[in-house]
Structure 1
């Protein structure tokens, strides 16, 4: 396993991180501990969760207990880490809806207000069974809350010892830049990283998000590195792949055709498609860690060799050429 420091964090994280969005569904609750321990034993020291993962209806699947009978992903992670908490850089998030009230978060605002963050951090700490969170993400931008209020709230939580660092997730390039500049102007800490969706098949962030991150010196952590299984060779085989894992749509025929070209190229080099997809991301400048969401111990074990795979420049270029650069891309 290789490790890297995120921006000014001063702590090394594994370049492969375990995502937990479907914990309690896939893997089932009784299998979470085994998967987490297997990851730690393999050298993974970075776990990513959120206060909205696991026990919401969008994750429901046939044959699995309904949302109101499932523990949250945070609870399952906390239980799995008993006795091993100090081995892990633990990240969780705030801002997605956790109720139906006007101050319960959501994409339309309120999720990054001081009152919401202060309430939710206490609940996350209890569910995780810990006295501190290593990296606390603003899960999505909040259009109703001034960025100064959010940044000052994170600063206060750091001073209280409840979080060690804060980070941002799914921010646009201008929003990330605004947050960093305002933090500098107010004499507050900068975010240690920014999390975004990115993979060979989905490269829109190359237009402004990644250039902004690199210019500001902010590390990037990546979710959906395998495009929901599209780049792992399971696009046509698995019922729940892509955004269907949380209530969205499946893959288009165009995406599946891209996956076939990608798979053929990876296999011609003697590598598994999933390993090549992760290695391509880790070859990009500024990428600190890629977040994988294994649904079983077998999927975890299958993914681990990717941490040590390095592609040469020609291979990276061939993979990049599979998808045209996004409009406005400046390199």
Structure 2
């Protein structure tokens, strides 16, 4: 496994990030342990979760939030693992039904961090990520809270998720004014079918030295050979079926190209992301050990210039960042 620096930091992480959103909702604790053991054995040291993961992502349900962190905490409690992984979690989503049980106030950040540390059974979070931008809380308040957590040794680095390029620039300007490191990573929706971040987010990450960590790198399964799987009898949800029909010509061309070069569609999709130097590590979210194992080959897949060109023809991007993508 060739480890990469996370953005401009000295921290090195694996080129694939283990996403744990399925832990608790679709994957039981025993299987989650097997997945984490297999990931660590394969050299994956970058683990990502969120306080809200593990259920329907809402405190209005009887059970759900916090389970993913609890599974990871129970796994870490077995010993010999904590210092072998880079552990990332998130704050923002509602965790209870009170008015201050969500978003990025100093009040919620402090409580959410303490709760995550307890569930994770650790004394520090390596990368504490804001799950979404909070435009109702000033950056002075947010950064003061994050600085305190760093000073206390509870957080090492701060990251963002689902930020626009403008939000990244605003956050970094405020951090620089405070002589604070600021953001080191951004998690965004990015795959061959969803390339909007190429306009402003990727240029912002490049300029400020953030590592881009794409979520949903397989487009919700569309880029994982979905046509072949349907042909083999795999059932899909109505929403996915509608997407397949909408994108069928592109999916057919994509899967044909993958067969032509002798690679699995999922590996091609991940390798395409890793070809971008701004990308640090796509997040894979396996439900089973088998799914994790299938994705490991992607780090060794090399795509030729001709293949990259054909992928752009099948899944057109913007050709440039903003404003060149839409102005002279």
TM superposition score normalised by structure 1: 0.89
Q: Say whether the 8 Å CA contact 1:18–1:292 is kept in structure 2.
A: yes
Displacement after TM superposition at 1:132 (Å): 0.3
Please tell me whether residue 233 in structure 1 is matched to residue 225 in structure 2.
yes
Match of 2:253 in 1: 261
Which whole-Å deviations, capped at 9, do the CAs of 1:129-156 have from their partners, x for residues lacking one? 1000000000100121012211221111
Per-residue deviation, 1:30: 2.2
What residue is the counterpart of 2:30 in the other structure?
30
**Contact 1:49/1:93 (8 A) holds in 2:** yes
Unaligned residue ranges in structure 1 (runs of 5+): 59-65, 106-110
In the alignment, does 2:146 pair up with 1:154? yes
Q: Which is worse superposed, 310-319 or 69-78?
A: 69-78
State the match for 1:89 in structure 2.
86
Q: 1:291 aligns with which of 283, 288, 291?
A: 283
The superposition leaves residues 180-206 of structure 1 with CA deviations (integer Å, 9 ceiling, x where unpaired) of 111111211221111101001110111
* Equivalent residue in structure 2 for 1:77, among 56, 72, 75: 72
Q: Is the 8 A contact 1:56 1:67 kept in 2?
A: no
Unpaired runs of 5+ in structure 2? none
Aligned pairs for 1:176-255 (under 5 A) are: 176-234=168-226, 237=230, 239=235, 251-255=243-247
Contact 1:113–1:145 under 8 Å retained in 2: yes
CA 169–250 in structure 1, closer or farther in 2 if over 3 Å, else same: farther
Partner of 2:17: 17
Residue 140 of structure 1 corresponds to 132
CA distance 1:242–1:134, change in 2 (3 Å): farther
Structure 1 CA distance for aligned equivalents of residues 27 and 251 of structure 2: 25
Q: Does 1:324 align with 2:319?
A: no
Return the offset for 1:325: 2.4
Q: Structure 1: how far apart are the matches of 2:106 and 2:271?
A: 39
1:252 to partner: Cα distance? 5.0
Q: Is the Cα contact below 8 Å between 1:155 and 1:189 reproduced in 2?
A: no
In 2, are the aligned partners of 1:26 and 1:296 still within 8 Å (CA)?
Answer: no
Asked whether the equivalents of residues 51 and 65 of structure 2 are also in contact (C-alpha less than 8 Å), the reply is no
Deviates more, 1:123-132 or 1:215-224: 215-224
CA separation in 2, counterparts of 1:218 and 1:135? Answer: 13
2:41 is aligned to 41
1:164 Cα deviation (Å)?
Answer: 0.6
| 1:78-111 CA-partner distances (Å, limit 9, x unpaired) | 1123311111000000001112221121xxxxx1
Q: How does 1:101-116 map to 2 (within 5 A)?
A: 101-105=98-102, 111-116=103-108
Asked whether the equivalents of residues 230 and 256 of structure 1 are also in contact (C-alpha less than 8 Å), the reply is no
The count of aligned residue pairs is 316
Mapped pair 1:272 → 2:264: yes
Deviation at 1:215, TM superposition (A): 1.6
SS in structure 1 at match of 2:88 = strand
Selected match of 1:312 from 304, 307, 313: 304
SS at match of 2:277: coil
Q: TM-score, normalised by structure 2?
A: 0.90
Matched, 1:163 2:155: yes
- On the 8 A contact 1:227/1:242 being kept in 2, the answer is no
Mapped to 1, the partners of 2:133 and 2:19 lie a distance apart of 20
Q: What's the CA shift for 1:318?
A: 1.4
d(CA) in 2 for partners of 1:91, 1:197: 17
By how many angstroms is 1:241 displaced?
6.9
> Does the 8 Å contact 1:184/1:190 carry over to 2?
yes
Structure 1 residues 69, 149: CA separation in 2 closer, same or farther (over 3 Å shift)?
A: closer
